[in-house]
Amino acid sequence: MSEAFRRGVWLLFAVWLTGCSSKSYVVLVDSPYGETRDVTVTTPTGTTQIDRTQQAVSLDKQAPGRTFTLPPKQILMDFTPALAAQPTLPVYYTLYFDGASNRLTNASQETLQRILATLRKRTPAAVSVIGHTDTLGSASINEKVGLQRAQLIARQLQARHLDLLELTVASHGEENLLIKTPPNTAELRNRRVEVIIR
């Protein structure tokens, strides 16, 4: 057993002994996936909010809601198996159409190739294809147009016989605008298909 390892074990033991930390808790961590804002815990006796990394709130039966700070080593020790089991995070792509046509722009044709390349490498994978329109015309027609666009892309993915857990096709019509516009406005950037690989 190397000296460094032994020292590490003792350090972990010491951390464990300092045990002012709770046995049950929620902790805020520095995340590579986005902003660290806050965590709120509601217990029968009240509400506690934390907003800094390494801060934790007790979820023990005794004194739930108490806040404390956890050393990174303790966090690592408690959560290594859970962290190791974390699935690959989803990736999001957006495809655009040439004018009012159902033909993808050149850039989006390249994006489609990247989507296919990702899917060939990634197993398991579930895919959502969601069609969107601008606000020109009626909402009900736009819902159908969005679905047609999504189906167009979905068919191209299906044609590759990829091994997917699922391929869902949906339309958000004009309800999920990328660029906010008034009703009855042509906006090319809103005519799009989102592909989410989970």
Q: Which residues contact 94 (CB under 8 A, 6 or more apart)?
A: 108, 111, 178, 192, 193, 194, 195
Contact flag: residue 165 with another protein (CB under 8 A): yes
Please identify, among the stretches 5-13, 19-27, 151-159, 185-193, the one whose residues bind another protein according to the rule CB under 8 A.
19-27
Q: Most distant CA pair in the chain: distance in Å?
A: 73
Reading the block at residue 28, the tokens are: 């805020």
Find the binder of another protein among 68, 69, 71, 172 (CB under 8 A).
172
Label residue 117 exposed, middle or buried (CB < 10 Å: 0-12, 13-18, 19+).
exposed
Smallest gap from Cβ 51 to another protein, in A, equals: 9
User: For another protein, which is the closer residue by CB, 104 or 131?
Assistant: 131
- Site stretch for another protein (CB under 8 A), options 7-15, 20-28, 95-103, 177-185: 20-28
Residue 165 Cβ vs another protein, minimum distance, rounded to whole Å: 5
CB proximity list for 35: less than 8 A, separation 6 or greater = none
- Pairing mode of beta strands 46-50, 39-43: antiparallel
CA 194, CA 197: separation in Å to the nearest integer? 10
Output the CA angle 57-36-18, nearest 5 degrees.
35
Total chain residues near another protein (CB under 8 A) = 52
Q: Which of 18, 40, 102, 109 binds another protein (CB under 8 A)?
A: 40
Q: Does 87 bind another protein (CB under 8 A)?
A: yes
Neighbouring C-alpha atoms within 13 Å toward the C-beta of 37: 3
Nearer to another protein, 36 or 94 (CB): 36
Of residues 56-85, those binding another protein (CB under 8 A): 57, 59-61, 64-65, 75, 78-85
**Using CB under 8 A as the criterion, which residues of the chain lie in contact with another protein when the complex forms?**
23-29, 31, 33-43, 57, 59-61, 64-65, 75, 78-90, 92, 124, 126, 128, 165-166, 168, 172-173, 175-176, 196, 198
